[in-house]
Amino acid sequence: MAFEVKMPQLGLTMEEGTVTRWVKKEGEAVKAGDVIVEITTDKLTSEVESEFDGTMLKIVAQEGEDIPVKGLLAYIGEPGETVGSAEAVPAAAPVAETTPVVAAPMAPVAVTTSGRVRISPLARKTAAKMGIDYANVKGSGPAGRIVQKDILTAAQSAPVVASVATPAAVSTPTPAIASGSIDLMEGDEVVKLAGMRKVVAERMAQSRREIPSVTQNVKIDVTNLMKFRKQVNEDLGVKYSVNDFILKAVAKALKNNKHILVTLDGDKIIKRAHVNVGMAVALDEGLIVPVLKDIDKMSLEEISATAKDLAERARTNKLGMDEYKGSTFSISNLGMFGVETFDPIVNQPDSGILGVCAVQDELVMDDEGNISKRQFMRISFTFDHRLIDGATAAKFELAIKELLENPMKILL
């Protein structure tokens, strides 16, 4: 008897996952406990193990496809067994796949069986979101079943153009090629918005839509901090980063300014009991925010070790799901890239996020006319104005400024 491999629910809020890579191929032997496929969901890639012994009879969900929880992924059974004709819910073309240019849209054709339109659950959900009448969409699935890519195609004037070949020589102006609302030029490549990048896009857009945010910028003299860090590292033989001191300072400021640790839940304000700080880590495929939990109770040494460990495991995709959940505040440090100021977007459900900018040298004249070189850094605090007022935010920023300008207070 053949067994169905279905999309697991890896978290309470998970609705669908993206098939990232099939580890086992059709025809290969499989043992219970073997990793058979990698699934990406909510910024995390997880390995799915087989529950059965047998052979990979048929892979239904292709790499790059979004499949709803409990959607069919594959069949495992004995060689030669006949498997069902049901298929997992396909999405748009996989990331690496290219499709030829098509000049005209497909003509809509109603697909029904005994008066009922055959459509997959994910396709129906997508149609509802996009306002598409799927009764007039031609299905490309088995027995004319409408799948998600049919809805996406119907939503455009023509099928998605994934790649356009570039001729060896072009002597005339390059024509534009329509793809939805975007004009593509020869040589352009279109890839599917999927996986971590899709999650980041959705979360950032949601934050901008829902939160009336304000960003305030403060300039901080970090000359003493830079000297203090250098002395500590030399005396103790360690390598504390500037970010370690910033994390410690922010943790202390949050502990003394609990009014920043709030979140809005409908018509209720939740006052957070824990100082859990999310630390933005940039990856090639997107952004992930692992969380240092109860950071106010950590020493500088513990903060440094925890931050390095989380960042490394984030880059190697080894974080557990609970390690990027539960933040009550976030920090995004772009100082190492030379960024002078920016407006970070609040990472919901937090009420605020602190942007950390580059340390820069400046010449300063004192009251007696003496000129000296000092080092300055700007912080950009973006907050939810429904919960935090400008003056309240300013007091919090001044608390951080006081600590960073007097680094010994960070450790006391």
- Which residues are designated catalytic? 385
Q: Looking at residue 407, what DSSP letter applies? A: T
Phi and psi at 316, nearest 5°, equal -105, 15
Q: Measured in whole angstroms, how far is the alpha carbon of residue 272 from the centre of its chain?
A: 24
For the sheet containing 54-59, what is the strand order?
3-6, 72-77, 54-59, 29-30
> Taking the CB of residue 143, how many other CB atoms lie within 10 A of it?
9
Q: Measured in whole angstroms, how far is the alpha carbon of residue 197 from the centre of its chain?
A: 6
Q: Looking at residue 378, what DSSP letter applies? A: E
Q: Side-chain half-sphere of 96: how many Cα atoms within 13 Å?
A: 5
Of 53, 119, 59, nearest in space to 83 by CA: 59
Q: Hey, what amino acid is at 151?
A: I
Q: Looking at residue 151, what DSSP letter applies? A: H
Q: How far apart are CA 19 and CA 16, in angstroms?
A: 10
Q: How far apart are the first and last CA of the chain?
A: 67
Q: How far apart are CA 58 and CA 55, in angstroms?
A: 9
For residue 332, give Cα distances in angstroms to 289, 318, 322, 324: 9, 21, 20, 14
Q: Hey, what amino acid is at 153?
A: T
Strands 329-333 and 277-279, by their bridges, are: parallel
Strands 213-221 and 371-384, by their bridges, are: antiparallel
Q: Quick check: 332 and 313 in contact, CB under 8 A? A: no
